């Protein structure tokens, strides 16, 4: 509960102080800022108490290049348990809470599943009263805002801070200096509260902004050399300006490496300073009070950096420093793709981080010595060296320099052990664990699907499921209750209506809310196979052209994805899908039976509208390529069956909900392994006329790539391969017919409305395992050895 009068008074006061206006004259973004700051006043005391309580024991720290947080206002109000109170108070001030929520920008701090997982972990740790702090970079512009021009992706700056950031506090007293080979910069932390659900605990996300030591040279300015006068400021701010800047040239690679080192060095200096204030120089205690999780390889430079701090700054000998370091760090691997196992050119490392590179060389020499003593052959040692072929292999450094390496889904972890990291698993079998990913049920059901949440609470008799998702399994008793299943279908229809209205307002595209909403939303990458989905749509279109009276349920195909600015083939796939959309959406002969929408600037807030409205969840990556996925879990939790391959967390989803309630297709890992070397995509192309017909549209003039040649390059990559991969590297041709057959099963199953609702219901009630609360508790007890501490 809140004191409404006090809350309203605070809003008016903040608007007056911050903006020099009365409430009735204020813009909506100013009202949003005032409401957020009024809420910050409410939580700051508990935030300070939480910090004090956590300082009494061991804490964990999550080092991540991304934190894809999503909007804060609605989530924070829900977690505080005051959403309805605040809504009513704002109504009395003639403020529409929905407009406030829409004015808030998605924080530009992440891009894909890795960043969203980090955000879910922070929510769960606060909710479970676990002492976990997030550390990362306060990007001023995020990755980019996505627009489409003539079907091409166009990137624009994502200035998410244009209305300010009322949720963060600048902590100038904790600033520190980070040194590179070519100079120094200042790291200034901004702290954001992470509010737990149903608890007074408030955790922290600390993000570093990069600033110049000297941001203005008056003498140069006075000489009218204006650009040079602020050059140091601009170069420093570049480090925290954009998430994942294009690194196709050496300058971009240097900037990325500086980003990685910048935030881990600042974070470690922060932790060491606080440790010394409390324990002096007794660094043997450091691992006893600190558990640092490296979220993928981006922050792995933290390993040699902690060594540098301990050896150079604190005078600790190598052997003791290495023991402290290894006991402190753990590493999460997020990829099976060999090309995604990060490597850095030694030349760049020497140039950017000369002392750190010296330490990495010594770590590599120690590894060679250890392997030699264990009797490893020279060829095996060379294969496992951290520095090899002129590169620093960050995944090897991560495994060697930590006490635990974990995968993020059962299948993924098994592949790491048996294939990708087999040598390391054989060397250190006790260091490998699995931690299947999870999602927070707060944002991904309680907040984004209030209608379904209310039904669940009504049937269970309490809302305890929000912090104990396993409880929804008790709803299995209703899987044959037609009244309840019809209520579920009614809720799904309501969410589809809401999404259709939003797409009409935001995209200017009208879609049929009574059609099947077939949704494919995730980062754009070839292995995720948005292109296979596009081929199926095109095949269905050609079938409709041959037979306009074909009896199918109308279907709306919805895509959402961003392609990395330098990933030309991914951008070609976006253009191709948008060309298909233009063709289909303007063809009156097919009578509106299918429609294609590629939503622009897909992110967390758009996802909150898409996941609850989906009828079918597209999870069609090549088997053995997706580490886990978390979008599949969000769909499942909102009662959406999966059409997908036996890949990543799909395997565990099917284990929980049953293959009969999902639509699994395609080659599995064993078959791919058998056919990989002999695979010939042209055989499928020649033998399957429907496949050939859709592939040929890339080159026969059906679609226009405006002379870029990108469609021809796509065609060649599938049939002829490229210098860096074989033809049809991700087996689209092999799985094409299976995929179409699975889609026909979807069509047939959807016609039985109650039968379909049962599949949806069983998926929803089987999602308990996929709560990030479960995942974070496993990390805390099995990797970090931290305990809950409640204020």
Full-model pTM: 0.97
Give whole-number Cα distances, 449 to 343, 532, 557, 637, 690, in Å: 41, 30, 21, 10, 39
Cα torsion through 504, 444, 121, 83, rounded to 10: 90
pLDDT tens-place string over residues 364-379: 999 999 999 999 999 9
Q: Is 522 one of the annotated active-site residues of the chain?
A: yes
pLDDT at 74 (0 to 100)? 97
Tokens of 695: 């592939």
Instruction: Give the residues across from 556 on adjacent strands.
Output: 517, 595
- DSSP-based three-state secondary structure for 389: coil
Residue among 256, 308, 334, 562 flagged as catalytic: 334
CA 501 – CA 507 distance, rounded (Å)? 10
Confidence of residue 337 (pLDDT cuts 50, 70, 90): confident
> If we measure between CA atoms, which residue out of 735, 756, 752 comes closest to residue 660?
756
Strand (E) positions, 515-575?
516-521, 555-560
475, with CB counted inside 10 A (0-12, 13-18, 19+), is buried
Which residues face 180 on adjacent strands? 183
Q: Are 761 and 478 in contact (CB under 8 A)?
A: yes
Please give the structure tokens belonging to residue 754. 């109650």
The pairing of strands 145-149 and 152-156 is antiparallel
Q: Are 140 and 237 in contact (CB under 8 A)?
A: yes
pLDDT tens figures, 303-329 = 999 999 999 999 999 999 999 999 999
**Alpha helix segments (H runs only) across 650-752:** 650-657, 669-675, 681-687, 689-696, 710-719, 732-751
Give the helix, strand, coil percentages of the chain, each rounded to 5: 55, 15, 30
- Decide the pairing of beta strands 176-180 and 183-195: antiparallel
Percent of the chain with pLDDT over 70: 100
List 209, 431, 443, 523, catalytic entry: 523
Active site residue 630: yes
Q: Report the pLDDT value the prediction gives residue 177, as an integer from 0 to 100.
A: 98
Rounded Cα distance, 305 and 394, in Å: 13
Residue 585 has pLDDT above 90, yes or no: yes
Structure tokens at 261: 């080192």
Domains and CATH numbers, the chain: 57-72+107-358 (3.40.50.2000), 441-680+725-770 (3.40.50.2000)
| pLDDT value for 340 | 72
Q: Is residue 521 very low, low, confident or very high in pLDDT (cuts 50, 70, 90)? A: very high
The reported pLDDT for the residue numbered 721 is 95
- Give pLDDT tens digits for 596-629: 999 999 999 999 999 999 999 999 999 999 999 9
Question: What b/e sequence results for 659-681 when a residue is b if at least 16 CB atoms lie within 10 Å of its CB, and e otherwise?
Answer: eebbbbbbbebeebeeeeeebeb
DSSP codes joined into one string, 129-189 = T--EEEEEE--SS-S-EEEEETTEEEEE---TTTT--TT-EE-GGG-EEEEETTEEEEEEE
Q: pLDDT digit string (tens) for 177-195?
A: 999 999 999 999 999 999 9
Q: Which of 528, 529, 734, 759 is catalytic?
A: 528
Catalytic residue among 199, 467, 630, 775: 630
Nearest to residue 529, comparing CAs of 609, 596, 623? 623
Pairing of strands 516-521, 616-619: parallel
Q: Which of 244, 284, 239 is nearest to 265 (CA)?
A: 239
Tell me if residue 525 is catalytic: no
Tens of pLDDT, residues 708-765: 999 999 999 999 999 889 999 999 999 999 999 999 999 999 999 999 999 999 999 9
All residues at 6 or more sequence positions from 549 whose CB lies less than 8 Å from its CB, including other chains:
none
pLDDT of 421: 95
Instruction: Indicate which residue of 522, 529, 555, 571 is catalytic.
Output: 522
Residue 292: its pLDDT value, please?
98
């Amino acid at each position: 509960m809140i004191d409404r009068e006090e809350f309203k008074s605070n809003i008016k006061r903040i608007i007056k102080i911050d903006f020099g206006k009365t409430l009735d004259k204020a813009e909506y973004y100013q009202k949003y800022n005032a409401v957020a700051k009024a809420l910050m006043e409410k939580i700051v005391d508990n935030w300070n108490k939480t910090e004090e309580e956590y300082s009494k024991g061991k804490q964990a720290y999550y080092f991540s290049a991304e934190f894809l947080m999503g909007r804060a206002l609605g989530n924070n109000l829900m977690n505080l348990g005051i959403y309805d109170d605040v809504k009513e108070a704002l109504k009395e001030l003639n403020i529409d809470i929905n407009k406030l929520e829409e004015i808030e920008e998605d924080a530009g701090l992440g891009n894909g599943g890795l960043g969203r997982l980090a955000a879910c972990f922070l929510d769960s740790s606060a909710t479970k009263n676990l002492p976990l702090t997030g550390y990362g970079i306060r990007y001023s512009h995020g990755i980019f805002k996505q627009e489409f021009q003539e079907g091409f992706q166009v990137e624009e700056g994502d200035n998410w801070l244009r209305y300010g950031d009322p949720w963060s506090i600048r902590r100038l007293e904790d600033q520190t200096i980070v040194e590179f080979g070519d100079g120094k910069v200042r790291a200034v932390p901004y702290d954001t509260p992470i509010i737990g659900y149903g608890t007074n605990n408030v955790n922290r996300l600390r993000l570093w902004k990069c600033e110049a030591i000297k941001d203005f040279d008056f003498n140069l300015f006075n000489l009218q050399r204006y650009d040079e006068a602020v050059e140091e400021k601009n170069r420093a701010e570049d480090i925290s300006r954009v998430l994942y800047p294009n690194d196709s040239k050496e300058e971009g690679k240097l900037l990325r490496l500086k980003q990685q080192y910048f935030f881990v060095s600042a974070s470690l200096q922060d932790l060491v300073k606080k440790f010394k204030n409390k324990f002096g120089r007794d660094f043997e205690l450091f691992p006893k009070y600190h558990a640092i999780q490296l979220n993928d390889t981006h922050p792995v430079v933290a390993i040699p950096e902690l060594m540098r701090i301990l050896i150079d700054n604190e005078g600790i000998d190598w052997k003791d420093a290495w023991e402290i370091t290894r006991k402190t760090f753990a590493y999460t691997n997020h990829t099976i793709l060999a090309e995604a196992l990060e490597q850095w050119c030694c030349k760049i490392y020497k140039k950017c981080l000369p002392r750190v590179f010296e330490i990495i060389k010594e770590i590599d020499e120690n590894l060679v010595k250890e392997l030699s003593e264990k009797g490893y052959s020279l060829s095996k040692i060379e294969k496992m060296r951290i520095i090899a072929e002129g590169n620093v292999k960050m995944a090897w450094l991560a495994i060697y320099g930590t006490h635990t390496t974990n995968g993020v889904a059962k299948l993924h972890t098994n592949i790491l052990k048996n294939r990708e990291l087999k040598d390391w698993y054989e060397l250190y079998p006790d260091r490998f664990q699995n931690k299947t990913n999870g999602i927070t049920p707060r944002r991904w059901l309680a907040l984004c699907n209030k209608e379904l949440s209310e039904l669940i609470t009504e049937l269970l008799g309490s809302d305890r499921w929000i912090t104990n998702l396993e409880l929804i399994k008790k709803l299995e008793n209703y899987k044959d209750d037609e009244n309840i299943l019809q209520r579920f279908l009614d809720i799904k229809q309501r969410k589809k209506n809401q999404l259709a209205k939003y797409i009409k307002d935001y995209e200017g595209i009208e879609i049929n809310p009574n059609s099947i909403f077939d949704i494919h939303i995730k980062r754009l990458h070839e292995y995720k196979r948005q292109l296979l989905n596009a081929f199926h749509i095109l095949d269905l279109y050609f079938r409709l052209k041959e037979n306009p009276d074909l009896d199918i349920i109308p279907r709306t195909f919805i895509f959402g994805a961003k392609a990395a600015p330098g990933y030309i083939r991914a951008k070609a796939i976006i253009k191709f899908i948008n060309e298909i959309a233009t063709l289909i959406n303007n063809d009156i002969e097919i009578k509106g039976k299918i429609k294609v929408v590629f939503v622009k600037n897909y992110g967390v807030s758009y996802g909150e509208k898409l996941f609850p409205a989906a009828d079918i969840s597209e999870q069609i990556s090549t088997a053995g390529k997706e580490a886990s996925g978390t979008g599949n879990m969000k769909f499942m939790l909102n009662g959406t069956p999966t059409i997908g391959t036996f890949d990543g967390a799909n395997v565990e989803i099917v284990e929980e909900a049953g293959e009969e309630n999902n639509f699994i297709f395609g080659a599995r890992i064993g078959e791919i392994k058998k056919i990989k070397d002999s695979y010939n995509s042209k055989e499928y192309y020649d033998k399957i006329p429907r496949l050939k017909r859709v592939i040929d549209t890339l080159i026969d003039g059906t679609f226009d790539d405006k002379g870029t040649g990108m469609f021809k390059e796509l065609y060649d990559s599938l049939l002829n391969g490229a210098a860096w991969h074989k033809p049809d590297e991700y087996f689209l041709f092999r799985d094409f017919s299976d995929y179409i057959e699975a889609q026909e099963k979807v069509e047939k199953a959807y016609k039985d409305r109650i039968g379909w609702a049962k599949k949806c219901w069983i998926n929803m009630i089987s999602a308990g395992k996929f709560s990030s609360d479960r995942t974070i508790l496993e990390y805390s007890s099995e990797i970090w050895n931290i305990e809950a501490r409640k204020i």
